Each structure stands twice: as C-alpha cells, then as structure tokens.
Structure 1
Amino acid sequence: MAFISLSAAVLAGGKAERMSRQDKGLLLYQNEPMALLVGRALQQVAEFVFINANRNVEQYAELGYEVIVDNQNYQGKGPLSGLMSCLAIATTSHLLVSPCDTPRISGAAFARLKEASVSVPDRIHYLYGISGAHPLHAILPVAETRVSLKAFLNTKNRYSVMAFYDYFGCDTVMWDRPEQLLNVNTPQDLA
C-alpha cells in the first residue's frame, strides 16, 4: 500500500462530561470555536477536511465543513465510534484525525505525521510528547484500518484507542511543542 491522498477529520463527537456537557468544539478559544482552529490546522496538509459530531450538527456545519455523525452500528464505543464513522466515509488512502479540544495544534504537527505516514504508509502514526501519548492526533491508512477496526469492535469488549492501535500496529511521532498539545477538558483549561 502507498500513501496517495489525505483527508482529515476534526473529532467532535464526545459527550464532554468534564466540560458540563457543553459541546467543546463550539466553545470559543481566543474568540474562535475550537473545532474551527483545529480544522484550519488540518487544512494546511489535507485535501479535504470534515467534522465528526453527534450534537449541534447545524452549528458545526456553519463553520464551513461537511459534518458526519457516528454510524449507529458503532455508537457507544467512545472515540473508536468516531474513528469508524470517519473511516467509513473517507475516500483517500489516508485519514488524519485530531480532537476538537486541542486549539493550539499546528499544521506543522500534522505535517510531521504525514511525513511519517509517507515513509511507512501501512501503520498508524500518532503524536507523542513530554505529556505522553496523544493517540487522537493520528494518521491512519483508510482501507486497512477500516477492516481491522470493524473486526476489533465486533470482537473486543474494551474500546480503548491504544488497544486498537496496538492490535493494528502503530508508531509514535515525537512532537516537542507541549503548548500545542494543550487539551481543553474543563472550564479551567479554557480560561
């Protein structure tokens, strides 16, 4: 398999339990919706960017991106539900994903993931920094990951992103800009 084309998804389908169930991607960070900031960074390296959201779909669409919701067959499986839904509609050889709650992430970080994938296109690559693993900042080979993730979701009881990556085969990509990996999970983080 070869790296041929790249699409990208902003993952905004979570329940935001630590954020009082506010839709994190629509919350403002420096006066702009966080999902929009992430989408712009993804656009620097991907040919097509879309948003995976399960609430406030119309509001997300107003940001200028196509919005897809989780496939009903895979709902309730955490972030893997979003990954499966994104993989199901991706028509490119590879898919780049990023969570909506990391508004400082840069196109340079995504370019580094793309470089790793071009070199080794048959594995999943994800960012790793001084704060540890950031598995939802990742690039995945679409067709192979789709097949493997479907099998994983149908046979496993544990819906861990890292458990799936280990099952599939993955590599870390070091990113030494910890400020870009800021994860906004609580109102205090947003402030």
Structure 2
Amino acid sequence: MEIKEATAVILCGGKSRRMGFNKALLTIDGQFVLAKSAQHLQQLFPKVVLMTDQAGHFAGQAAFRELVIWEDRYPACGPLGGIASALEQITTPYAFVMACDMPEQPLAAISALAAQGSQSQVVLYQREGRLEPLFGFYHQSCLPIFQKQLHQGQRRIKQQFSQLQVTKVATEELLFTNVNTPEELSHWQKAEGMG
C-alpha cells in the first residue's frame, strides 16, 4: 500500500568515522546499499529522495542516475539539518526519514508506523525505552522548531520534542540493523550469505 502523505528521505550525510569511508557508498555483492534501499522504498512512497551534503559524491555512478538527490541546506549540522532541509523542500505533509546505513528496510514496519500517526507531528518507534529518531515520520509543522534549534546550535533531534506532538510506538523487535563499522559490515555480509 502506497503512503501518499509522505516523501521518503534517506539521510546520506555523516562523517562515517567508525566505518573509515563514506557509508552512502557502501556496497554489498557489488551493489550500492543506498541505491537498493531507495528502490525498495519506492514500493511504498511516491517519491524517494537522497539527502546529502555533496551531490558530487554520486556523480558518474549509474546506480544513482534515476534517483532524486537534494543537497543539505544545513551542512555540518548533523541529521537534524538533513531533516530540516527535507521539511523545507517536500510537497507532502510528512517526510519519512531514515539513515543510509540500514541495509534492510522493513516495509511492513514502516507501514505500521504510518498507520499510527495521522494526528501527530512526529511518529517513531521506541524499543527498550529508546526512541529511534532516524527511522520515522516528521510533519512539515516541525520545521519552525527545528530551524530555531539549528540557529541556536542545538543539534539533538529530540531536544525540543516536548513542544511537538510525538507518537511513540512501542516495539520489542529489532526492526533494522545499522552498519557503522567494518566489523559490523563483515558480520552483516556473513549473515546475508547464510540467509
């Protein structure tokens, strides 16, 4: 089922210090994980966008030629800058935001999250008491608060959640895996090979 009220935005910034190279260009079995993620999300969303600090990262790569790429308007401000940039540019009420280092995108979990929050400004999963701010929905009405945070040098996404309508959807499942280090990448590749 298509989620027409949202644009999917994959955040491709970050320094990737622990990985040692740009995670947006991570490949598994010769395929760009990011391009595969975008294609996967196209099953749910009418528009999928890559948000990056430099569009030049993807120049000349055939895998990204058909994808929409936006440049972050708040470079060096972390994920919150990417979210604010997305909210400034989307034409849908919501942005579904996720990080680029998630090799798997559980579409059923995304759909279930979308079904929870038609009246909310932010809709996120909460696992073991911890919110997952880089896998959730943000309404355009969050933008003024996020812009104010950025202008004040506050980069924590959750910093001003008390001023927003936030729906927290409890889950006990580990819905996705982040790949942050070469060791995690190796572990994930082995798990994939066994699957």
What amino acid maps onto 2:83 in structure 1? L
**Corresponding position of 1:181:** 176
* TM value normalised by structure 1: 0.83
Give distance in 2, aligned partners of 1:42 and 1:175.
Answer: 21
What amino acid maps onto 2:126 in structure 1? Y
Deviates more, 1:86-95 or 1:146-155: 146-155
**Corresponding position of 2:19:** 19
Using the aligned pairs only, state the percent identity: 23
* TM value normalised by structure 2: 0.82
Give distance in 2, aligned partners of 1:14 and 1:45.
Answer: 26
Structure 1: which 5+ runs fail to align?
A: none
**Alpha-carbon deviation of 1:40?**
3.0
**Corresponding position of 1:58:** 59
Q: Across the two proteins, how many residue pairs are aligned to each other?
A: 181
**Corresponding position of 2:72:** 70
Give distance in 1, aligned partners of 2:31 and 2:173.
Answer: 22
Larger Rg: 2
Give runs of aligned pairs for residues 17-166 of structure 1, distance below 5 A.
Answer: 17-20=17-20, 22-55=21-54, 56-58=57-59, 62-63=63-64, 64-71=66-73, 74-118=74-118, 120=119, 122-130=120-128, 132-142=130-140, 144-155=141-152, 157-166=153-162
Give distance in 2, aligned partners of 1:161 and 1:59.
Answer: 33
**Alpha-carbon deviation of 1:101?**
0.4
> CA 1:111/1:61 → structure 2, altered by over 3 Å: closer, same or farther?
farther
What amino acid maps onto 2:99 in structure 1? P
Query: Which 4+ runs in 1 deviate beyond 4 A?
Result: none
> CA 1:40/1:112 → structure 2, altered by over 3 Å: closer, same or farther?
farther
